[in-house]
Structure 1
């Protein structure tokens, strides 16, 4: 360990924590570039899922009342999502993860690019329980196969004119639970060495502090502005994911 590694870890944890506090997801999107500069991929990913869960719990607390008022809605996403994780892990053994990520990145780019430049966002209001379950299931599959559990739920939720707390009451718990399962799987594979645990301990304070700043900004955003933020995040996610796979 040296000062350069510590600096990159703290910077990455702060960047990931802020966006997680602001949007309810995206820790890997903003932190992974910092971590991969000084850490091997497995170690970087192992750290990210832990930080995503820890910072995500703060966001879950912020929208706890919205979660309580919409438990059935969350269950429609989460229960099928958990069932999809093992299938995703199985698919990973027969499909190249890089190809899968490139396909998802293209979907994010098309979706985010199209809606980012529309003056009015769609308002898909009627209840769609079966579609919610399918999106949750496919999110779990992508989480197990490529650590992209939030991609489809994010796109789906931006189509709904839900208040920002209700939208986050789906996205944040979904990602926290799926990534907690991912953490357990990585731990079973021995990913959390003594060095990795030390790095996580270094990263947690800056990640938590930055998440609080992001949450403060989230609380001040109007509902429409939050939907716009998610659309832009979809586009940015696609650009970063595709660039990472190409490079």
Structure 2
């Protein structure tokens, strides 16, 4: 492995691990650009889903108390998502994935930019089971079709008047489950060959350390600050996704 490969690999793992530890999602959007510089797309995605899941498991431990407080809420997101994943995979032959990613990027930028400029954020504090299920299902479809499972749930959860631990208790297991299923599918298709495992051996420990740093920062944030962080990450993620697809 050359010095250049090692540099891009470490920087990508640091960026992806940190944002996962801080916000509970976003590993792919922050790390993929670095990984694609030195490896094929399938290998890059295969590495990212593993470090996302491992980093996410650390985040799950942080919010373990909140996970048991409202399991029905999580189920409303997660169960429809599991149904949506194979539908998203099946739709790959019928849709233009690039156009889909551009559409999601547009909404992320519009949503993130609009609420970033507002002094007050929306606070939906009443139960919304139908919307929760719908967002979870569409997140699963987007995850299977374009590896963008976290986009819609993050936008929706950032509008809920939930404490930061409760918000993360939805986003973190949602993303871990969807990406773990993706990793299984990739492994089944032979994505984890010798070169992938060699790169993973460097990226995974780096991402674990970076995720721990992100978790430390997360613990220090106020609930309102965390909501604004999610909105800012939506805007940045949309911008990164847009630029990556256009250029």
Bucket of the pairwise TM-score, normalised by the shorter protein = over 0.9
1:70 match: 70
Distance across 1 between alignment mates of 2:130 and 2:186: 31
Q: Secondary structure at the match of 1:39?
A: coil
Distance across 2 between alignment mates of 1:81 and 1:119: 33
Q: String of CA shifts for 1:15-35, please: whole Å, max 9, x gaps.
A: 110110000011111111111
1:203 match: 203
Matching of residue 44 in structure 1 with residue 34 in structure 2: no
Q: Secondary structure at the match of 1:192?
A: coil
Distance across 1 between alignment mates of 2:23 and 2:207: 14
Q: String of CA shifts for 1:155-178, please: whole Å, max 9, x gaps.
A: 100110100000000000000000
In the TM superposition, residue 118 of structure 1 has moved relative to its aligned partner by 0.3
Distance across 1 between alignment mates of 2:109 and 2:14: 26
In the TM superposition, residue 8 of structure 1 has moved relative to its aligned partner by 1.2
Distance across 2 between alignment mates of 1:44 and 1:143: 16
Distance across 2 between alignment mates of 1:151 and 1:30: 13
1:235 match: 235
Distance across 1 between alignment mates of 2:117 and 2:59: 28
What TM-score do the two structures reach when normalised by structure 1? Answer: 0.99
Distance across 1 between alignment mates of 2:203 and 2:245: 25
Matching of residue 185 in structure 1 with residue 185 in structure 2: yes
Taking the TM superposition and a 5 Å limit, the aligned residue runs for 1:67-216 are 67-216=67-216
What TM-score do the two structures reach when normalised by structure 2? Answer: 0.99
1:225 match: 225
How many residues get paired? 247
In the TM superposition, residue 202 of structure 1 has moved relative to its aligned partner by 1.0
Distance across 2 between alignment mates of 1:145 and 1:205: 29
Distance across 2 between alignment mates of 1:95 and 1:29: 21
Give structure 1 regions of 4+ aligned residues with deviation exceeding 3 angstroms: none
Distance across 2 between alignment mates of 1:46 and 1:228: 30
Distance across 2 between alignment mates of 1:237 and 1:3: 28
- 5+ unaligned residues in a row in structure 2: which ranges? none
2:245 match: 245
2:28 match: 28
Distance across 2 between alignment mates of 1:242 and 1:190: 29
Q: Secondary structure at the match of 1:38?
A: coil
Distance across 1 between alignment mates of 2:55 and 2:66: 18
